[in-house]
Chains A and B, each alone.
Chain A
Amino acid sequence: MVKKTLSRIYIFLIFLFLYAPILVLAVLSFNRSDSRVSWGGFTLSRYVACFESESIMSAFATTLEITFCSAVIATIIGTLAAMGISSMKKRGQAIYLGATNIPLLNADIVTGISMMLLFVRFTNLGFVTVLIAHITFNIPYVILNVLPKLKQANRSTYEAALDLGASPVRAFFTVTWPEIRSGVFSGFLMAVTMSLDDFSITYFTKGAGVNTLSTMLYAQLRKGIKPELYALSTILFLTVLLLLIATNINGDKKVDNRLIRRVISAVIMLALFTGSVFVLVQQHRISGGGDRTITVLNYGKYIDGELLDRFERETGITVKYEEYEEPEEMYTKYKAGAISYDLICTSDYIIEKLIEEDELLPIDDSQLTNYENIDPALIEMSTFDPSHQYTIPYFYGTLGILYNTKDYSEDQVKSWDLIWDKQVSGHLIMTNSVRDAFSPALIACGYSINDTDPAHLKEAQMVLSRQKPMVSAYYVDETANEMIAENASLAVCYSGEAALAMDENEHLKYIVPDEGSNLWIDSWFVPKSCRNYQDALTFLDFLCDNEVALQNFEYVYYASPILYVQTHMDIDDRLNSAINPENRVTRNCEVYRALDNDTSAYLNTLWQELKSQ
């Protein structure tokens, strides 16, 4: 009796462990309040937002498309292969099965990387490369499900059919197929499952702009969790639950379950199919714009989407707009030749590197009627483009300290000294970006943030490693959310991130310490791979228009180099140092210079050393 109770308790505990997180998300999805711990009333708005979110819906569509296509193709190739393998001699079988095990048992990250290396050599990364990768890791599951069925199948009935005059195809469909059908079907389901759940392999083989649910969520999770995701998780959970219960119940009762199963699989197939067609049609609509198309690459959430529509309406030029997260990711893929774009927006030091490598086309200012709208001081500060002919500044800002006024006063955070002090232990968020983390440390040692002397960098690393035990986490994109939720009270972050956080939590303030910091300028450039130079310039000119820039500023919320915006923005914004750095601040700041390869490799090593301590 005791034993029975104990095992009940044990099952219950494991059950709790498995389901508590999912239930918590489900409850939160109906919570009106943004807080994770207090109940603010019932709402369905998260669900509406989830269905309205373009990034979620397009990732969802891509996921369905990849899953369906890869599972079907893998099932066909895999079933044929299983039949081939079963008619081989023992040795041939062993070789084939050994090879089949490679993608199955190899680490996902290695499989993903190996395919990425192959793809960037021969083609651009994109939808097709992800599809190929998924087919590759799906085939083994099909083979391993079909092969046992073939072994059980009686070969002599098939041969009897042939002897009786049936063609091989007919013999296959009337004799072999019914025996292996269940294996093929479970192989297909297995492929669907694996494809739906995959993250690592998709992550390495996807191009910019292609996102499955997993990779979209990865980017979002690092940025901070939005309540729409709770809704998404609950919807997915309920769908899976219903599907599985349906298949399970009819598995118990023997009421013509074959028919029910067929109906269910037909429904699944139909859903996947219509989903895919829908997506294909939509993609066609987006890309089918005729000759006047420009392909634009920008950071995520870095333009007001309405402006893109307006530009297309006014000019008749179609914009294929894609986004990326990390400048280094963009650079790596660009250098690998995996991307070809007409216009790219990125960070100052990356541009300097690309200029040195002679990757850019000069921008003809005389064709930009709105060039005068740009603050000349900002062009002057763009030292990464010494001849001022390759770039147009887009937004700029600073690196500084975001702090909670409940715990710190302005006097305390006026200096970088605070982030090295014992008192911040456990509630400091340090930036997870290599150069931004080293900047305050270099300043603390009395050097420039562009210092390349290895001894000085080593010294800065010592400062950072003394700081590490006090750091609660190294974040970039999650910082705003963690500070809003008051999980930390001090963070080293960008001004834009700070402005977002301050909007959500009135106790937060942002300051650039007196010793100076980094001033960054994100700018547009035209890469050599540009195919539509004229229309790319038209787009740049559009962005420099006064009213357009003001509308864009109100969406992006970073400091704009357009003079009109600086004078016409809301008075509160103008006084907000996170959005609009004062002159006193910018004078003390430096723009990053590109590091030579040796220094950048050394910095990376120092950083990894620090992280592994």
Chain B
Amino acid sequence: MNKRTGRLLAGPYLFWMIGFVILPLLFVFVYAFTNSDGNISLEAFRTIFTATNAKAIGLSLELGLLTTVICLLLAYPLAMILNGLKIKSQSFIVFIFMLPMWMNFMLRILAWKQLLNKNGVLNAFLSLLGLPGIDILNTPAAVVFGMVYDFLPFMLLPIYNAMSRIRQDWIEAARDLGAGNLLILVRIIFPLTLSGVISGIVMVFVPSLTSFAISQILGGGKVLLIGNVIEQDFMQGNQWNAGSSLSMILMIFVLLSMAIMNLFQHDEEGTQLW
């Protein structure tokens, strides 16, 4: 196979990508910059800058950031502990933590809905212990809960991968040179896992920023995220132009977070997820 025929092998993919990735995005672009009569207009963009949408974007950013921070705080120590375990089959440990991710996304939300219910399992358990019940279903807290549960593996895996690549010699060398545990963590482990942390952040932040199903189900229809506004615009309100322009705004956020990720990641396999 010479180089030219080799390149032809990517032909079907090129065709597919233009037809089903680029063209659809152009459609979003066209809808965003036209009005309902099909004329070019900025009307859709004007209508999206309302207090409602601003609040929805604000809340999405807030809950997305909160989810990301909680995931990071939970996953980083976990990755360190898992990495430190002197167990022969580390892959088995990782697999145990990944297993819930293989179950259907909706079933995982269903599980939390059952647990968090006012008359649900968690409260029955708490009252058995004589503790006061919690009532967070249908609040933003429940949405964050659900998102942390769903996206935690996305944070854990890249960090764990980065950490398992750190060679024990380096840490021992640092220790020989008199560094304490904290110093080793701050000066050696953290910088070496930074790329994992960054890709974990992006992989948690983007889906939690744009989620609409979790907020719909666990938020009881009271938590309006930007994803919910877009979904309503398309599926119920018949306002495709406004929905498209909001989608463009979302894309800007996604591009921004991708750019940040690229800034920190110089290694070749940066695009590889795990």
Chain A residues near B (Cβ < 8 Å): 7, 10-11, 14-15, 17-22, 24-25, 28, 36-37, 77-78, 80-81, 83-88, 92, 96-97, 99-111, 113-118, 121, 132-133, 135-136, 139, 143-144, 148, 158, 162, 168, 171-172, 193, 196-197, 199-200, 203-204, 213-214, 217-218, 221-222, 225, 229, 232-233, 236-237, 240-241, 244, 248, 251-252, 326, 328-329, 331-332, 335, 432, 471-475, 485-487, 601, 604-605, 608-609, 611-613
Q: Is the pair B121, A109 in contact by a Cβ cutoff of 8 Å?
A: no
Please give me the 7 A-B residue pairs with the lowest Cβ-Cβ distance, nearest first. A84-B10, A21-B111, A473-B220, A87-B6, A81-B13, A114-B24, A474-B221
Q: Is the pair B244, A113 in contact by a Cβ cutoff of 8 Å?
A: yes
B267 part of interface (Cβ distance < 8 Å): no
Q: Is the pair A80, B12 in contact by a Cβ cutoff of 8 Å?
A: yes
Q: Which residues of B contact A25 (CB under 8 A)?
A: 107, 110-111, 114
Q: Is the pair A81, B103 in contact by a Cβ cutoff of 8 Å?
A: no
Please report which residues of chain B, range 76-128, place their CB below 8 angstroms from some CB of chain A when the two chains form the complex. Answer: 77-78, 81-82, 84, 88-89, 91-92, 95-97, 99-115, 117-121, 124
Please report which residues of chain B, range 213-254, place their CB below 8 angstroms from some CB of chain A when the two chains form the complex. Answer: 213, 216-217, 220-222, 224, 227, 229-232, 234-240, 243-244, 247, 250-251, 254
B3 part of interface (Cβ distance < 8 Å): yes
B191 part of interface (Cβ distance < 8 Å): no
Known: A36-B121, A77-B13, A148-B269. A222 touches B52 (CB 8 A): no
Q: Which of A77, A214, A331 has the most CB of B within 10 A?
A: A77
Q: Which residues of B contact A143 (CB under 8 A)?
A: 13
Q: Which residues of A contact B152 (CB under 8 A)?
A: 18
> How many residues of B are in contact with the other chain, CB < 8 A?
106
Q: Is the pair A218, B20 in contact by a Cβ cutoff of 8 Å?
A: no
**Secondary structure at chain A's binding surface: helix, strand, loop or mixed?**
helix
B181 — nearest CB in chain A belongs to which residue?
A3
Q: Is the pair B149, A17 in contact by a Cβ cutoff of 8 Å?
A: yes
Chain B residues near A (Cβ < 8 Å): 1, 3, 5-14, 16-17, 20-25, 27-28, 31, 50-53, 55-56, 59, 74, 77-78, 81-82, 84, 88-89, 91-92, 95-97, 99-115, 117-121, 124, 137-138, 149, 152, 202, 206-207, 209-210, 212-213, 216-217, 220-222, 224, 227, 229-232, 234-240, 243-244, 247, 250-251, 254, 258, 269, 271-273
5 contacts between A and B (CB under 8 A): A24-B114, A80-B12, A213-B104, A241-B99, A331-B238
- Given A36-B114, A88-B7, A107-B210, 9 extra CB contacts under 8 A: A7-B77, A21-B108, A37-B121, A83-B9, A101-B271, A102-B21, A144-B272, A200-B213, A608-B53
Q: Is the pair B220, A474 in contact by a Cβ cutoff of 8 Å?
A: yes
Tell me the minimal C-beta distance from B171 to chain A in angstroms: 16
What's the Cα separation between A136 and B224 when bound, in Å? Answer: 29
Q: Is the pair A611, B235 in contact by a Cβ cutoff of 8 Å?
A: no
Tell me the minimal C-beta distance from A74 to chain B in angstroms: 9
**Secondary structure at chain B's binding surface: helix, strand, loop or mixed?**
helix
Tell me the minimal C-beta distance from A41 to chain B in angstroms: 18
Q: Is the pair B95, A136 in contact by a Cβ cutoff of 8 Å?
A: no
Q: Is the pair B110, A472 in contact by a Cβ cutoff of 8 Å?
A: no
Across the interface, B207 reaches (CB within 8 A) one of A107, A158, A248, namely A107
What's the Cα separation between A108 and B16 when bound, in Å? Answer: 18
B6 — nearest CB in chain A belongs to which residue?
A87
Across the interface, A106 reaches (CB within 8 A) one of B27, B52, B254, namely B254
Tell me the minimal C-beta distance from A243 to chain B in angstroms: 9
A101 — nearest CB in chain B belongs to which residue?
B271
Q: Is the pair A217, B110 in contact by a Cβ cutoff of 8 Å?
A: yes
Tell me the minimal C-beta distance from A14 to chain B in angstroms: 6
Q: Is the pair A486, B119 in contact by a Cβ cutoff of 8 Å?
A: yes
Q: Is the pair B107, A328 in contact by a Cβ cutoff of 8 Å?
A: no
What's the Cα separation between A601 and B250 when bound, in Å? Answer: 22
Q: Is the pair B27, A121 in contact by a Cβ cutoff of 8 Å?
A: yes
Known: A109-B230, A121-B27. A80 touches B81 (CB 8 A): no
What's the Cα separation between A43 and B164 when bound, in Å? Answer: 45
Tell me the minimal C-beta distance from A24 to chain B in angstroms: 5
Q: Which residues of A contact B10 (CB under 8 A)?
A: 80-81, 83-85, 88, 96
What's the Cα separation between A237 and B220 when bound, in Å? Answer: 26
Q: Which residues of A contact B217 (CB under 8 A)?
A: 218, 221-222
Q: Is the pair A110, B105 in contact by a Cβ cutoff of 8 Å?
A: no
Q: Which residues of B contact A162 (CB under 8 A)?
A: 1
Across the interface, A10 reaches (CB within 8 A) one of B81, B117, B239, namely B81
Q: Which residues of B contact A217 (CB under 8 A)?
A: 104, 106-107, 110
Q: Is the pair A132, B149 in contact by a Cβ cutoff of 8 Å?
A: no
What's the Cα separation between A464 and B272 when bound, in Å? Answer: 49
B218 — nearest CB in chain A belongs to which residue?
A221
Q: Which residues of A contact B21 (CB under 8 A)?
A: 99, 102-103, 136
Q: Is the pair A78, B110 in contact by a Cβ cutoff of 8 Å?
A: no
Q: Is the pair A77, B12 in contact by a Cβ cutoff of 8 Å?
A: yes
Q: Is the pair B206, A601 in contact by a Cβ cutoff of 8 Å?
A: no
Known: A80-B12, A605-B50. A472 touches B138 (CB 8 A): yes
Q: Is the pair A109, B6 in contact by a Cβ cutoff of 8 Å?
A: no
A23 — nearest CB in chain B belongs to which residue?
B111
Known: A36-B114, A217-B104. A83 touches B6 (CB 8 A): yes
What's the Cα separation between A100 and B236 when bound, in Å? Answer: 32
What's the Cα separation between A158 and B56 when bound, in Å? Answer: 56
What's the Cα separation between A328 and B251 when bound, in Å? Answer: 26
Across the interface, A115 reaches (CB within 8 A) one of B20, B52, B56, B138, namely B20
Q: Which residues of A contact B269 (CB under 8 A)?
A: 148
Q: Which residues of B contact A86 (CB under 8 A)?
A: 6
Q: Which residues of A contact B28 (CB under 8 A)?
A: 110, 113-114, 117
Tell me the minimal C-beta distance from B222 to chain A in angstroms: 6
Tell me the minimal C-beta distance from B13 to chain A in angstroms: 3
Q: Which of A84, A85, A158 has the most CB of B within 10 A?
A: A84
Tell me the minimal C-beta distance from B173 to chain A in angstroms: 22
Q: Which of B17, B216, B230 has the most CB of A within 10 A?
A: B17
A336 — nearest CB in chain B belongs to which residue?
B240
Tell me the minimal C-beta distance from B100 to chain A in angstroms: 5
Q: Is the pair A199, B106 in contact by a Cβ cutoff of 8 Å?
A: yes
Q: Which residues of A contact B120 (CB under 8 A)?
A: 36-37
B124 — nearest CB in chain A belongs to which residue?
A37
What's the Cα separation between A197 and B237 when bound, in Å? Answer: 27
What's the Cα separation between A78 and B16 when bound, in Å? Answer: 10
Q: Which residues of B contact A139 (CB under 8 A)?
A: 13, 16-17
Known: A22-B100, A109-B250, A487-B119. A218 touches B106 (CB 8 A): yes
Known: A10-B78, A99-B21, A240-B102. A110 touches B271 (CB 8 A): no
B81 — nearest CB in chain A belongs to which residue?
A7
What's the Cα separation between A74 and B55 when bound, in Å? Answer: 39
Q: Is the pair B207, A87 in contact by a Cβ cutoff of 8 Å?
A: no
Q: Is the pair B224, A612 in contact by a Cβ cutoff of 8 Å?
A: yes
Q: Is the pair A248, B91 in contact by a Cβ cutoff of 8 Å?
A: yes
What's the Cα separation between A99 and B231 when bound, in Å? Answer: 26
Tell me the minimal C-beta distance from B263 to chain A in angstroms: 15
Q: Which residues of A contact B56 (CB under 8 A)?
A: 608, 612
Q: Which residues of A contact B24 (CB under 8 A)?
A: 111, 114-115, 117-118
Known: A25-B110, A475-B221. A14 touches B239 (CB 8 A): no
A84 — nearest CB in chain B belongs to which residue?
B10
Q: Is the pair A99, B20 in contact by a Cβ cutoff of 8 Å?
A: no
